[in-house]
Amino acid sequence: MSDGGAVAGPDGLLRCPWGLSAEDYVAYHDEEWGRPVHGDDALFERLCLEAFQSGLSWITILRRREGFRTAFSGFRIAEVARFTDADRERLLGDEGIIRNRAKIDATIANAQVLVDWAPGELDELIWSYAPDPEGRPVPAGTGDVPAVTDESTALSKALKKRGLRFIGPTTAYALMQACGLVDDHVAGCVARGAAR
């Protein structure tokens, strides 16, 4: 496991090492991470959760995902865009989420920007930065997986230029990984290529 290559789980299936590092990760790794996500609200949710994850471990966010969904009206852009100062205060007191004022403010501000976009525009913009899968080497281990790419840097710049906040190149790349724009499951992993 030191090289970050695929590891056999209790069921005998090979997975990315992180996919076996906590019980909560197995289903997320096998059924969600790296699978294509489409739809403005669905991508808004992932964008927000990746921003909340910044500086924390993903397991912290994953374990609170239902709390986030409840607190942020299912991440429906039109509803979050109508949040008021009272909603901000409610969110700052909600123990079911990460109570970080800057991240909460960014989530609401981003919804207020996105509510004016045409339907499908967020989906189209994000997916326009998906690299050609044929040009990407299969990572032998987790050490071969980048934290930032040219595409994630360009996506971050494009989103910031359009008024979105809290989406740096590393967060943009985590979004790309989670939403299937790239397949960073390591060689031999049972989930590698599953969504293609």
What residues act catalytically?
Answer: 28, 50, 58
The two structure tokens encoding residue 174 = 């985590």
The helix or strand, by DSSP H or E, that contains position 65, with its residue range, turns out to be helix 65-71
- What's the rounded Cα separation, in Å, for the pair 167 and 10? 36
The two structure tokens encoding residue 184 = 């960073």
- What's the rounded Cα separation, in Å, for the pair 120 and 26? 31
The helix or strand, by DSSP H or E, that contains position 15, with its residue range, turns out to be strand 14-15
Binding-site positions for Zn(2+): 16, 29, 185, 189
